[in-house]
Amino acid sequence: MSDEDYVYDEASGEWMPASEFATRQAAEDIVEVRDAVGNLLADGDAVTLIKDLEVKGAGQTLKQGTLIKSIRLTGHSQEIDCKYPGIKGLVLRAEFVKKR
């Protein structure tokens, strides 16, 4: 008999080894972020805008074709955190970008 602790998984209604439960939870926490054409995005990727976007609060419009370097994923399936000169805290929706 194993000395491993068991944890009750409310989603499945089953008791399972704690290590298996932790592995399952980690897999559920991974969020896939895909660009406008379905490419999988990752931290550090460079993306290009596929349409003109008006940036709220900055009084600026980012034009189609603008290159955004070194994105960061936020944990949300459609939002990416970006850095762009002159705009602090820029968050773009993945549906408006294409991976380079």
pLDDT digits (tens, 9 = 90+) for 41-97: 999 999 999 999 999 888 899 999 999 999 999 888 899 999 999 898 899 999 999
**Could you tell me the two tokens for 33?**
């972020």
**Distances from the Cα of 66 to the Cαs of 61, 85, 92, 99, in angstroms?**
10, 12, 12, 12
Tokens 């194993």 correspond to what residue? 2
Output the pTM of the full model. Answer: 0.69
